[in-house]
Amino acid sequence: MSTPCGCGSQNTCSGITIQPIVHAPWITGIVATTVGLIPTISTKLTRSDRLSALKMRLGIGRMKYKIPPGLYAAGRPAATSPVLVTANYKLSFDRLRMHLSAFNAWILVLDTNGINVWCAAGKGTFGTAELINRIRITKLEQLISHRKLILPQLAAPGVAAHLVKEATGFNVKYGPVYAHDLPDYFRNDSRIKPGMRRVHFPLRDRLALIPMELMPALKYIPVFIAWLIIVQLLRDHHLSFKILTELIPYFAAIFCGSVLFQILLPWLPFRSFIINSWLLTIIFITTLGVLFAVDWSSFLPLLFILPPISAYLAVNFTGSTTFTSLSGVKKELAWGIPVIIISIISGMIIQFVSII
């Protein structure tokens, strides 16, 4: 069904029209098939792959961390080999391919604009229309003899399996939640074992997401500095290095909303991210105030300014957790954003009044 091809052509091979060949370190070659040339991929992550993933988690080049959509070959797949579908977010793609070292499979990559499977399913980019379109573009029906696609379970909210069947003849089957369960899944004749449907969100996973939450939050530091400069000029009529110590509570708010909240999430008492982070920040900064014997008259405005900052940062984490739903987040934002704005403005007014 497929044979190695060393011609290096990006357009045709023996007169066959093909999809563009990708040039990337994780591409190990190409195979010639009845539908054209298809890139073969490495199932081992290199130091470059891991470094790129680290940069992405730090927010460096996040929106460009994607691969071209299309069809790829892992190992030496044949007409009877399974077809796994994933997103073109490279981290999702990497997590899939690293668990296929012992198998021959086709990987159909959808164009999700560089968004992971779960989020893309919610947004509709990992959806029915894109799956049907990608099947047709790659001429998948001419390449394989079966009519079965294995999708990640977390793609289910975005894909109407019956419409895919009607449009293409392919049956959608949902595999395990985690790619590391794929070897057991295949060895079990593509049957799901108990536990493979369960989504876990342990501390290790939450810690892995913290850099991506923390780094964007730091961009607000110049705004906080500008506000403190105004306060210092109105209060002291000159600038001093005292502003650095006054900036510490704002760092504490960022820490609460982007680090501490994520760590403690499973044990916080309420369903609302805004309420949980608000209370957490009040407790945290009040404890700091007691420990460092702050002037409570100047500290009062911070109780109105800092918790909503933390709440705003924490609510960004709703898209990364298993604790929320789209409808629930919309409801929380509907009342939460006005409360956040009102609280910050109130704190600023209180601070102005205390200066005057």
User: 29-83 pLDDT, tens per residue?
Assistant: 999 998 989 999 999 999 999 999 888 888 888 778 999 999 999 999 999 999 9
Same domain, 150 and 220: no
Instruction: Point out the domain boundary residue: 159, 187, 215.
Output: 187
**Domain annotation covers residue 194:** no
3-class SS of residue 150: strand
Same domain, 226 and 179: no
Q: Taking the CB of residue 75, how many other CB atoms lie within 10 A of it? A: 16
The domain of 297 spans 203-355
Same domain, 127 and 90: yes
Same domain, 167 and 214: no
Same domain, 215 and 335: yes
Whose CA is closest to 109, among 88, 90, 139, 136? 88
Same domain, 210 and 284: yes
CA distance 331 to 339: 13
**Mean pLDDT (whole number) for 294-309:** 85
**Domain annotation covers residue 198:** no
Same domain, 221 and 327: yes
Give how many domains the chain has, as a whole number. Answer: 2
Same domain, 122 and 74: yes
Same domain, 180 and 322: no
Same domain, 26 and 135: yes
Q: What is the mean pLDDT of the chain?
A: 88
Q: Among the residues of 149-247, which ranges form H helices? A: 161-168, 182-187, 203-217, 221-236, 242-246
Task: Please tell me the predicted confidence (pLDDT) of residue 321.
Answer: 75
The helix (H) or strand (E) run that includes residue 49 is helix 47-57
- For 155-210, the pLDDT digits (tens) are 998 999 999 999 999 999 999 999 999 999 999 988 888 888 888 888 988 998 89
Single pTM value for the model:
0.81
Same domain, 136 and 107: yes
**Mean pLDDT (whole number) for 124-129:** 92
**Domain annotation covers residue 239:** yes
Same domain, 143 and 58: yes
Q: What is the CATH number of the domain that holds 34?
A: 3.40.50.11600
